[in-house]
Structure 1
């Protein structure tokens, strides 16, 4: 089989590799890979900024945004040949912390978790892969090629779950949400907010291209003005922050409604200094009972929530998120961003 592999820590090592077909272990599914999404994490790993190979190995199979079709499934697994599935990314550590032991390994306390395609486990960027049934999620057959969006949707499903849990500490009936960043995470967060009946606003720096159109098709409102101007006018009850831009993060923290919840999903670059009136931020958060919470990764519950959300979404709108499909043989093109990219997907069944 062909697989997309690299040597973590070595820039320029990404290549297409011929590997032996995998043999499923006891109880595992054998899955034919259909597609794998490419995100910022994948590009960082390819640029040697991140990533770990499996123990005793130099190379890692890349890819954590999966989509596949079951080829073989053991009896009693709950799956059958032909089922459309995605694989969960994270695995609990071998000596689980309290969170991992309770299935909440997305909130691992000791950092000894592993991740498919990222940390010490081969990913899903291969023509064939194996997965344990408890880490596979079945999809509605109607999703077809759109199922590759489940992993990023699981991230925002968890983010929204955190928002509702935090808000639930007292009476919480939000009306208005602001999503900052109109990449895949931001747009999918906006989709879930609209489905929840909120008035959703999306802020991004571009004024043209597919992003404003996708937001408008959702029935949300698109903005590309100054963040202070937009946020101070809206005073959102909820903010889903999906950029990781330091100045923007603190700007939205300053401009929420009382009892506002800000959920941070964007990872900031280190080394960039931002001037912040820390006293004002502290004062506002205390006097208005505001909350800022970080959220990353997802567990199987969030994958199931994501699969349900996508199954109920407009397939034409979802298809608009995937702005480029690149065959596996031309994988390098997927790692060169283009101006109007939203989500780039590598197809694994390109019939070479």
Structure 2
């Protein structure tokens, strides 16, 4: 069967690879789930792997199949599978456990090992193919009523984890009840984070460079958040107007914005970094002032990457509630479909122009 793959470490090596079709029996103990792939979302991670910035092929292979945002339909299950059945819509988690204690208890997204395993990212093949098989522990059921949001399940899991982790660590405050949040960035993670925060009752300000009127800004407004163009209103001006936020989520991919968050966070607040900055940019920061304010203000910086099954499931619940509260808004994130695995070059071109494509996804098969 066909798959879109790269040769990790070799720049611009994306290509069509012929691989063997998997079988439900590939998974031991009759716990396998065979999924026919319907759609796969792609993002900057796939572009960066093709740019040879990171990623390793699975042992024994020179290639690695791309794609970590899956959506498909179950075609076969092992005899001991209980969570899903044939005909169910599903997605799949991305990271797989290593051998640390965190991996063993199901929090494999928090591994303490340097080597990590992620489908379509590092040491494991991804989902940009016609079929995949996996253990039922990593298969997550998607309600039929949400199938129109398909590939957003994985990015939603990342947003869900970021917000959940912020609340979890702030249990140290005993009665922490945030009222105001800033979300830096209005890509898919930023938009979905804004949705989750609105559902929690916060006043949300979504910050981005572009002036109002873009699709992203309209989605922000459709979710009941306030769009702020930093080209027109600086962060300092926003803070002067509405006060310092209790919670900031950075989803920009800009180290400048990530560190700017440290300057404007409120007392007892938490700043969550979710984006990766893979370049070597250097900026100056008012380190003494930040040091003083963060110690005296009991402020916290938190890094959040990837997600486990719990975050997928809670993210799906929030998507369902979001569809009731803001019908038709989230679906607008899904902007750029690409028809078929053969058109991988079109896929990569769209990924190089982030301003023109909010969310790129591959239509692999019809139902």
TM-score between the two structures when normalised by the length of structure 1: 0.95
Deviations 1:241-270 (A, max 9, x none): 111322222222111221111011011234
Shift of 1:293: 0.6
CA RMSD of the aligned region, Å?
A: 1.5
Task: Output aligned runs, 1:224-235, within 5 Å.
Answer: 224-225=229-230, 226-234=234-242, 235=244
Which position in structure 2 is the counterpart of 1:334? 347
Q: CA 1:218–1:12 in 2, change beyond 3 Å: closer, same or farther?
A: same
Residues 1:163 and 2:166 aligned together:
yes
Deviations 1:191-239 (A, max 9, x none): 0000111111100011132011000000110001223322453311100
Deviations 1:120-155 (A, max 9, x none): 111011111101100110011111141211111111
Question: Unaligned 5+ residue runs, structure 2?
Answer: none
User: 1:42 is matched with which residue: 29, 46, 56?
Assistant: 46
The answer to whether the Cα contact below 8 Å between 1:2 and 1:18 also exists between their aligned partners in 2 is yes
Task: Output aligned runs, 1:161-310, within 5 Å.
Answer: 161-170=164-173, 171-207=175-211, 208-225=213-230, 226-234=234-242, 235-310=244-319
The answer to whether the Cα contact below 8 Å between 1:210 and 1:340 also exists between their aligned partners in 2 is no
Which position in structure 2 is the counterpart of 1:152? 155
Q: Distance in 1 between matches of 2:208 and 2:348?
A: 22
Task: Output aligned runs, 1:123-162, within 5 Å.
Answer: 123-162=126-165
Which position in structure 2 is the counterpart of 1:110? 113
Question: Unaligned 5+ residue runs, structure 1?
Answer: none
TM-score between the two structures when normalised by the length of structure 2: 0.92
Q: Distance in 2 between matches of 1:252 and 1:232?
A: 14
Secondary structure of the structure 1 residue equivalent to 2:298 = coil
Name which of structure 1's ranges 225-234 and 37-46 shifts more when overlaid on structure 2.
225-234
